[in-house]
Structure 1
Amino acid sequence: MTDDHSTKGAYVTSGAEFTRDTNYITTHITRDGRDGYPVEPGRYRLIAARACPWANRTIIVRRLLGLEDVISMGLCGPTHDKRSWTFDLDPGGVDPVLGYERLQQAYFARFPDYPRGITVPAVVDIPSKAVVTNDYPQITIDFSLEWKEFHREGAPELYPEKLREEIDTVNKRVFTEVNNGVYRCGFAGSQAAYNAAYDRLFTALDWLSERLATQRYLVGDTITEADVRLFTTLARFDPVYHGHFKCNREKLSEMPVLWAYARDLFQTPGFGDTVDFTQIKQHYYVVHTDVNPTQIVPAGPDLTNWLTAHGREELGGRPFGEGTPPGPVKAGEEVPAADWVPQN
């Protein structure tokens, strides 16, 4: 199959608020293999896209935990049509492990009549070339819990048992009001739906600012799953959500606490080194043609400020707890320098 960008998907329903389909493939990869897919190094391939915030989470967690040599990764390009994400970054437009041009092929290999969107991230079983799961909230949790035997030495505890209840509570509000809240603004089909979404989003951002004013991380004194989930939305706020999605009460860089928090994480190994600002902008501005019919990708904003001092160390905290930072990015998985923060 070839890529066909004449078949763009529609994201806005006139007169309606945006409602996300959260029915995912809930198969788990577990140590006991209860769903038929046991933890096994080298067996699975994470298919992600640097443009997508949900997929970006899995890239971050995989790197923080040191699973790069255990779970391989394939990257889709930043744009897609309504059928599927595609492997147009790879030579010949084909994933070198799966031999696919489209992620859709992995879904159809397991569910020939799969009726829902073909989403990233997805974990694919390499022997069968069939999708195992696209349940992105669970994928990162399973990376932490089910794959623990294969974590790198010094890997952080991103989902510590004693904090799980609080992490889950924070994650629920962050998802409904922030991660998904920006989409409710951007894909609102009426003024009333937009107004309501806008108010909910900034109410939640104000709550987060208040929470983070006196503590370095969202839950406890170390980086957890909660920080990963918030970070990928904040990283996209000024380049995309402020303008493209009309989340424009303030830029992130005009919200002092959240801006310092986001820079703190960005400058932490495993976070900023996974962010491709060029692909992020290309994805939203090119794919969402009912929001941006011209498909013109804006030149700004200036991103050099992501590397400025944040001062969050004064709040204490231990980024990796008893662990250590991850080492250099795995060869071949680096974000191209031209797509990252411009170096002056």
Structure 2
Amino acid sequence: MTADTGEFTRDMNYVTTRITEDGRDGYPVQSGRYRLVVSRACPWANRAMIVRRLLGLEGALSMAIAGPTHDERSWTFDLDPGGRDPVLGIERLREAYFARFPDYEKGITVPAIVEVPTGQLVTNDFNQITIDLSLEWRALHREGAPELYPEALRAEIDEVNEVVFRDVNNGVYRAGFATTQQAYEQAYHALFDRLDWLSERLSGQRYLVGDTITEADIRLFTTLARFDPVYHGHYKCNRAKLSEMPVLWAYTRDLFQTPGFGDTTDFVHIKQHYYEVHRDVNPTGVVPAGPDLANWLAPHGRDALGGRPFGTGTPPPPPPADERVPAEHTPLRS
């Protein structure tokens, strides 16, 4: 929503029901009971996809992939035969929201976790979902799953996540949806000031917090991956492209080439969503043909900084065949 000042303000009132080991909200962790609904286009949903992959939860938490575009009535399952999710049997994600909250009036967002037996939404609290996958779903993690939210680093991770969300993750939206020059420029400068801060921080260390991949890296990556394809032009975040910021560009390529990151990133869906759905920003709906993706596979040199991507853990195996990003949507070799 946009305030009278022209500033974009994100509604952060989500369904905060949690799926926990002890089931204190009525939803205990249980293999096969829940389905994660995502769109590959959405950066918040992409976070959940990466965490699920890294932790090896594919067999315990199934995943529904909505199409890249939607209308005012919510995300649709137009990628599936007959336009229905094969597990939930619904055409639109809003059916799961209304099954639990018949008078639900807020946005129908992804990621969302739906209880399969009832077809009801459990939560769409993207901020908490990934943390709970790390901490509450431990019993179902794969052998060798990394610690993405280690206890000793949580305070620092939380501190980094807070400023990155404010100025970068949400900052690009604050710039893109601003309706006054002042609001846009405030968001623009806050964004690039934070990107400069991140560049300095990452110039001497491979990852944002500690020497392994953590929740902080995942949250930053999904915004940076969308920067040149979308935010630089579509949202007027154009002081520089990601590919013109040497430290952040190498850092993002390092993560992209790490199992779990690039293999969940669909550049075609990303561009289709932003340019086709946001007609207030792009009235024609024309989707740009570029940028060229080949350089995402260029050597990054970040391993010279040391670090252990998965700590004492191991890389995840390749994604299941039915979850692979189409080869024509990614520079990665399928």
Scaled by the length of structure 1, the TM-score of the pair is: 0.95
One-letter amino acid of the counterpart of residue 284, structure 2: T
Structure 1 CA distance for aligned equivalents of residues 259 and 21 of structure 2? 28
| Matched residue SS, 1:243 | helix
**Alignment-derived partner of residue 285 in structure 2:** 295
One-letter amino acid of the counterpart of residue 101, structure 1: E
Structure 2 CA distance for aligned equivalents of residues 248 and 16 of structure 1? 20
**Alignment-derived partner of residue 232 in structure 1:** 222
Whether the 8 Å contact between 2:9 and 2:174 is mirrored in structure 1 is yes
> What is the CA deviation profile of residues 102-143 of structure 1, one whole-angstrom value per residue up to 9, with x for unaligned ones?
000000000001110000000000011000000001000000
Tell me which of 107, 122, 141 is aligned to 2:112: 122
Give the aligned length: 333
> What is the CA deviation profile of residues 213-247 of structure 1, one whole-angstrom value per residue up to 9, with x for unaligned ones?
00000000000000000000000000000000000
**Alignment-derived partner of residue 5 in structure 1:** none
Kindly report which structure 2 residues correspond to 1:133-144, keeping only aligned pairs within 5 A, or say none. Answer: 133-144=123-134
Q: Are 2:169 and 1:179 equivalent residues in the alignment?
A: yes
Structure 1 position 16, deviation (Å): 1.2
> What is the CA deviation profile of residues 42-62 of structure 1, one whole-angstrom value per residue up to 9, with x for unaligned ones?
000000000000000000000
Tell me which of 202, 206, 212 is aligned to 1:216: 206
One-letter amino acid of the counterpart of residue 60, structure 2: V
**Alignment-derived partner of residue 48 in structure 2:** 58
Kindly report which structure 2 residues correspond to 1:1-344, keeping only aligned pairs within 5 A, or say none. Answer: 16-341=6-331
Return 5+ residue gaps in structure 1 as ranges: 1-10
Structure 2 CA distance for aligned equivalents of residues 179 and 121 of structure 1? 15
Runs ≥4 residues deviating over 4 A: 11-15
Structure 1 position 330, deviation (Å): 1.1
Whether the 8 Å contact between 2:172 and 2:231 is mirrored in structure 1 is yes
Whether the 8 Å contact between 2:41 and 2:266 is mirrored in structure 1 is yes
Whether the 8 Å contact between 1:303 and 1:342 is mirrored in structure 2 is no
Whether the 8 Å contact between 2:33 and 2:116 is mirrored in structure 1 is yes
Structure 2 CA distance for aligned equivalents of residues 283 and 118 of structure 1? 15
| Matched residue SS, 2:323 | coil
**Alignment-derived partner of residue 7 in structure 1:** none
| Matched residue SS, 1:75 | strand
| Matched residue SS, 2:63 | strand
Structure 2 CA distance for aligned equivalents of residues 189 and 328 of structure 1? 43
| Matched residue SS, 1:242 | helix
Structure 1 position 331, deviation (Å): 1.8
Structure 1 CA distance for aligned equivalents of residues 112 and 319 of structure 2? 21
Structure 1 position 83, deviation (Å): 1.6
One-letter amino acid of the counterpart of residue 145, structure 2: A
Structure 2 CA distance for aligned equivalents of residues 287 and 263 of structure 1? 27
Structure 2 CA distance for aligned equivalents of residues 223 and 124 of structure 1? 28
Whether the 8 Å contact between 1:12 and 1:290 is mirrored in structure 2 is no
Return 5+ residue gaps in structure 2 as ranges: none
Structure 1 position 341, deviation (Å): 1.8
Distance 1:50 1:79, change over 3 A: same
Identity level (%): 73
RMSD (Å), alpha carbons: 1.0
